[in-house]
Structure 1
């Protein structure tokens, strides 16, 4: 839910009382036309607050918590579950981990030192939002979110498929699941893992904690899902191609 312009201006005056709008935009990278349009409409995007807070070395979560709409973000954050952490590991990283473990098994007893794990793909990745929701879904989560927010289930699913989730829905989803409120903000790319208070290296630790069987099963599920997505894209491409050929 966009933030009221008046509340935003009060917040802005509080963190940078001497800065002009031009200064704010120059330092934060927010376009002056974008900010001006938002102020005229009376609704400022959460991403604007995040960008400005970073420019002034303010934690974005604390900045959002200063607004009534997001006051629940205040206080000590709840750490993500292992399932949430694993959900934020890209499919290709899972496959690399499977290959790496297989290579280590074949070298069992070899004197060579094990190779350090390559850095994980930054969050968000291609399916981070849907993976996060799936990780915290008990089977009824989508229905509870729909009932709590009024969003139609198909519209909610469309956001997940597009790998995006509005901040309001991200927090509503976390509340409905009983998990930390910042998980969806990380998955959607609104804030970083560090800004959410996630321990450094937490995703890698969660990946390392998976047994070989768990890792293989998870990678297989991800590949199956990826295959279905690619197949749909190919079918859509063929249908579009056929339509153009008929029109031509």
Structure 2
């Protein structure tokens, strides 16, 4: 939920009383027109707050928690589950781990739980949001989120397919799943792992803790999902191509 402009201005005056709007925009990289438009509409995007908080060397998580709509973020964050951490590892990194653990004949080290795999890419990745929701879904999560927020199930699914989720829905999803709120905020890219309070090597440790069987099964599931996405994109491309050909 976008932040109320009046509450945002009070917060900004409190954290940067001596800075002008021009100064704030300059140090945070936000266009003055963008901030002005948000203030006129009476709704300021969470990304705007986070950018300013970072620029002022503050905690974006704590600053978000100072607003009523994100008051649930107050206090020490609940750590992510192992499944959530693994969900924020890109598919290509999972495949590299599979190869690394394979026998030397296949170019690997043959060491189960090996930490010799290349450094993981940063979170979020191309399917972070959908993977995060899948990692905490007990089969009824989407229905609970829909009932609690009023969002139509098809609209919620459309956001997941596009790997997109508003911060408000990310928090609502975490609440419905009974997990910490930082997982969804990291998956959507609103805050970083460090800002969420995750240990520096948390994702790597979660990956190393997977057995060879679990790792291979997960990589296979990710590849199958990727294959479906690519086939759908190919079909859409062919359909678009035919339309243009018919139009001459």
Q: Describe the SS at the equivalent of 1:93.
A: helix
Equivalent residue number for residue 75 of structure 1: 75
TM norm structure 1:
0.95
Q: Distance in 2 between matches of 1:33 and 1:109?
A: 56
Q: Distance in 1 between matches of 2:110 and 2:61?
A: 48
The answer as to whether partners of 2:101 and 2:110 remain within 8 angstroms in 1 is no
Q: Distance in 1 between matches of 2:163 and 2:110?
A: 43
Equivalent residue number for residue 60 of structure 2: 60
Gaps (5+ residues) in structure 1?
Answer: none
Q: Describe the SS at the equivalent of 1:191.
A: coil
Pair 1:8-2:8 in alignment: yes
1:171-193 deviations in Å (ceiling 9; x for gaps): 00000000001111100100001
The answer as to whether partners of 2:100 and 2:110 remain within 8 angstroms in 1 is no
1:187-232 deviations in Å (ceiling 9; x for gaps): 0100001111111100000000000000000000000000010000
- Pairing 1:138-217 to 2, within 5 Å after superposition: 138-217=138-217
Equivalent residue number for residue 235 of structure 1: 235
User: Superposition RMSD on alpha carbons, in Å?
Assistant: 1.6
How far 1:105 moved relative to its partner? 8.0
How far 1:116 moved relative to its partner? 3.2
1:76-133 deviations in Å (ceiling 9; x for gaps): 11000000000000000000000011145877799xxx88321111111010000000
Gaps (5+ residues) in structure 2?
Answer: none
Q: Distance in 2 between matches of 1:176 and 1:8?
A: 27
Corresponding pairs, count: 245
Q: Distance in 1 between matches of 2:123 and 2:109?
A: 33
1:52-85 deviations in Å (ceiling 9; x for gaps): 0000111100010011111110101100000000
- Note closer, same or farther for the CA distance 1:104–1:192 as it changes in structure 2 (3 Å cut): farther
Equivalent residue number for residue 35 of structure 1: 35
Equivalent residue number for residue 85 of structure 2: 85
Greater than 4 Å deviation, 4+ residue runs: 103-110
